[in-house]
Amino acid sequence: MLLIDTHTHIYDPDFDLDREDVVQRALDNGVGVMLLPNVDASTIEPMLKTHERFPECTRMMMGLQPEEVKGDYKQVLGLMEKMLADGSFVGVGEIGLDYYWDRTFEKEQLDAFGVQLDWAKELKLPVSIHCRNAFETMVKVLEEKQDGGLCGVMHCFTGTHEEAKAYLGLGFHLGLGGVVTYKNCGVREFLPELPLERLVLETDAPYLSPIPHRGKRNEPAFMLDTAKRIADILQFSVETLAEITTANAKKVFEI
């Protein structure tokens, strides 16, 4: 059984003391490929080093996460655009809009998001999209940008059925993580109605650990718990879910 974690930050300092063990536990639990989305300028080096250490089981994405869009975002984007040109990345991410904590740089977030969507279309790369408290604006931007050249994953999808249908209608996949194991997650109610060929799995490690690890540092190995819960809801084996979601991830990210 092969699982692909389509969104994990194992280059984060939270893993500095036991990264080797974390990767080995992932492999032992069937997570054979881990996709590393970038966050900001400071995460590029640790991400590159992590991929260099584990080249067989990791792939990288390059992007500026919306919460990290600040006054210097154009310079940061300039650096990232140059790096993307070397062909070492399987996607543009983590990008998007986040209006949850602070809307100070709302206009800058919109500009950065649009610029990075254009990169993805030019380079024919998928995107990993972060959206929090910004659904209406997100859909408007994606509708404007989608000309058939955009594809990718709505990272950590926890929205409503209507939101899911909107993203699916725009050609995107839904990334399901540990939140799906939480009792208050509404996605569980309409999960059986979602098209299986548009679902991928993720952890967002070190964040959002699934039950029974909630409250602890998340890691890719824990994705198996999420997969088992989803398979249980859909009433088929975790092996079947792994086969489907792995095929989906391979198709989206061309790995």
pLDDT digits (tens, 9 = 90+) for 133-181: 999 999 999 999 999 999 999 999 999 999 999 999 999 999 999 999 9
Q: So where are the chain's domains?
A: 3-253
Q: Which CATH number fits domain 3-253: 3.30.43.10, 3.30.2270.10, 3.20.20.140, 3.40.50.280?
A: 3.20.20.140
How high does pLDDT run on average in the chain?
97
pLDDT score, position 102: 80
User: Lowest-confidence range among 55-69, 90-104, 216-230, 241-255?
Assistant: 90-104
Query: Helix and strand tally (H, E) in the chain?
Result: 9, 8
Which strand ranges, in their side-by-side order, compose the sheet holding 173-176?
3-5, 31-36, 58-62, 89-98, 127-132, 152-154, 173-176, 199-201
Reported as a pLDDT band with limits 50, 70 and 90, residue 96 is very high
pLDDT tens readout for residues 177-226:
999 999 999 999 999 999 999 999 999 999 999 999 999 999 999 999 99
Region 91-106 average pLDDT:
92
% the chain with pLDDT above 90: 97
Q: Hey, how many other C-beta atoms are within 10 angstroms of the C-beta on 56?
A: 7
pTM of the model: 0.97
Q: Residue holding tokens 């975790």?
A: 238
Q: Is the pLDDT of residue 101 over 90?
A: no
pLDDT score, position 103: 83
- Cβ-contact 129, 154 below 8 angstroms: yes
Region 92-114 average pLDDT:
93
pLDDT score, position 104: 85
pLDDT score, position 214: 94
